[in-house]
Chain A
Amino acid sequence: EVQLVESGGGLVPPGGSLRLSCAASGVSISSYWMQWVRQAPGKGLVWVSRSNSDGSSVAYADSVKGRFTISRDNAKNTLYLQLNSLRAEDTAFYYCATYNFGHGFFDNWGRGTLVTVSS
């Protein structure tokens, strides 16, 4: 069974930083493009970032470009998201997901970790 477990969320003041982790089991993330998607409380889903299978190609939503950094350690089977210069509007649940490249959809999701940006 595939499991993705996010961690690292919490309460942080505006301008602060956090590092989110997504630990995978039951699947080798080295075979997958990996994604981060966020959801503000009570709101819809928004794509944040993606990494190809070896981390050599990454991309970001315009709203987080220059502030967030996606990375991965395939040996540890873990995906990361470094969040810097956080703003109130970054408050959300952050989900990691595997991306099925052949069929173009997000096929496994973690339960998410909540990031709250507030003073």
Chain B
Amino acid sequence: DIVMTQTPLSSPVNPGQPASISCRSSQSLVHSHGSTYLSWLQQRPGQPPRPLIYKISNRFSGVPDRFSGSGAGTDFTLKISRVEAEDVGDYYCVQATQFPYTFGQGTKLEI
């Protein structure tokens, strides 16, 4: 199975400041047909997960443009340009390139 490792596990930030979360996979996430199925989820306290980013850098419908994704191969990053209070919660990377799908252990964003 592909192991997804996120850093940091906890990230205290001040409103208006940037935040960055790293996700590293134990194998390349480039699929045989060329796409990289790495996505990011946000889970606010007491809420189910919701998608933020798919295929490394594509924002899901309705996601503010302060969220951005980047990376390639085995190293990926989620960035929030200016953190807002509503961004508090847990963030997960997840790979769907190889079965079984695997998630990172989560990063808690705290203000």
- A residues sitting closer than 8 Å to B (CB atoms) are 35, 37, 44-47, 50, 59, 61, 95, 99-100, 103-107, 109-112
A-B CB contacts (within 8 Å), total count = 62
Interface size class of B (residues with CB under 8 A): 20 to 34
Q: Is the CB of B100 within 8 A of A47?
A: yes
Q: How far is the CB of A39 from chain B (nearest CB, A)?
A: 8
Q: How far is the CA of A110 from the CA of B48 in the complex (A)?
A: 7
The residue in chain A whose Cβ has the minimal distance to the Cβ of B104 is: A44
Q: B82 at interface (Cβ–Cβ under 8 A)? A: no
Bitwise, B82-111 to A at CB < 8 A (1) or not (0) is 000000000010101101111111100000
Using A45-B41, A100-B54 as known contacts, say yes or no to A105 and B100 having CB atoms under 8 A apart. Answer: no
- B residues sitting closer than 8 Å to A (CB atoms) are 31, 35, 37, 39, 41, 43, 47-51, 54-55, 58, 60, 92, 94, 96-97, 99-106
Q: How far is the CA of A107 from the CA of B39 in the complex (A)?
A: 10
Q: A59-B100, A99-B96, A104-B55 are in contact. List 5 more A-B contacts (CB 8 A).
A: A45-B92, A59-B99, A104-B96, A105-B54, A105-B96
Q: Is the CB of A44 within 8 A of B105?
A: yes
Q: How far is the CA of A37 from the CA of B54 in the complex (A)?
A: 18
